[in-house]
Amino acid sequence: MLGVTGDVTRVLDLGSADLKLTSSVSSKLTSAATSPLLLTDTHQQRLNEAPKKIVNVYGDERSLNQSDRIIIETHVPKVVTTTKSVRLRSANTKHRMVLAVVCCGNRVNETMTMLKSAATLSHSPLKIIVFTEDDLKPIFRNMYTSWPADVSERITLDLHSITFPADQDAAAWRKLFKPCASQRLFMPSLLSDVDALLYVDTDVVFLAPLEELWRHFQAMNSSHLAAMAPEHEDLATGWYNRFAKHPYYGRLGVNSGVMLMNLTRLRQFGWEEYVVPIYKHYKLAITWGDQDIINIIFHYHPDKLYVYGCEYNFRPDHCMYMSVCKAAEKRGIFVLHGSRSTFHTTKQPAFKAVYRAWEEYELGQDLRQDLYYPMQRYLLKASNTTCGKIHSTFLKAMGSVVKLR
Q: Which residue has the higher pLDDT, 4 or 400?
A: 400
What span, in angstroms and rounded, lies between the C-alpha atoms of 316 and 348?
Answer: 7
Task: Output the pLDDT for position 181.
Answer: 77
Task: Output the pLDDT for position 47.
Answer: 37
Domain boundaries, the chain: 86-312, 316-404
What span, in angstroms and rounded, lies between the C-alpha atoms of 229 and 58?
Answer: 10
pLDDT in tens, 158-179: 999 998 766 666 666 666 656 6
Does pLDDT of 11 surpass 90?
Answer: no
Average pLDDT over residues 4-28: 36
Does pLDDT of 65 surpass 80?
Answer: no
pLDDT in tens, 263-281: 999 999 999 999 988 988 9
Does pLDDT of 74 surpass 80?
Answer: no
What span, in angstroms and rounded, lies between the C-alpha atoms of 310 and 332?
Answer: 10
Question: How many helices and strands (H and E) does the chain possess?
Answer: 19, 9
Amino acid residing at 36: P
Task: Output the pLDDT for position 52.
Answer: 40
Does pLDDT of 103 surpass 70?
Answer: yes
pLDDT in tens, 200-218: 999 999 999 999 999 999 9
What span, in angstroms and rounded, lies between the C-alpha atoms of 70 and 63?
Answer: 8
pLDDT in tens, 116-159: 999 999 999 999 999 999 999 999 999 999 999 999 999 999 99
Q: Which among 283, 282, 287, 354 is positioned nearest to 316, based on CA atoms?
A: 354
Chain centroid to Cα 197, Å, comes to: 11
Q: What CATH homologous superfamily does 86-312 map to?
A: Spore Coat Polysaccharide Biosynthesis Protein SpsA; Chain A (3.90.550.10)
pTM score, whole prediction:
0.78
Sign of CA dihedral 257, 263, 265, 268: positive
Task: Output the pLDDT for position 72.
Answer: 32
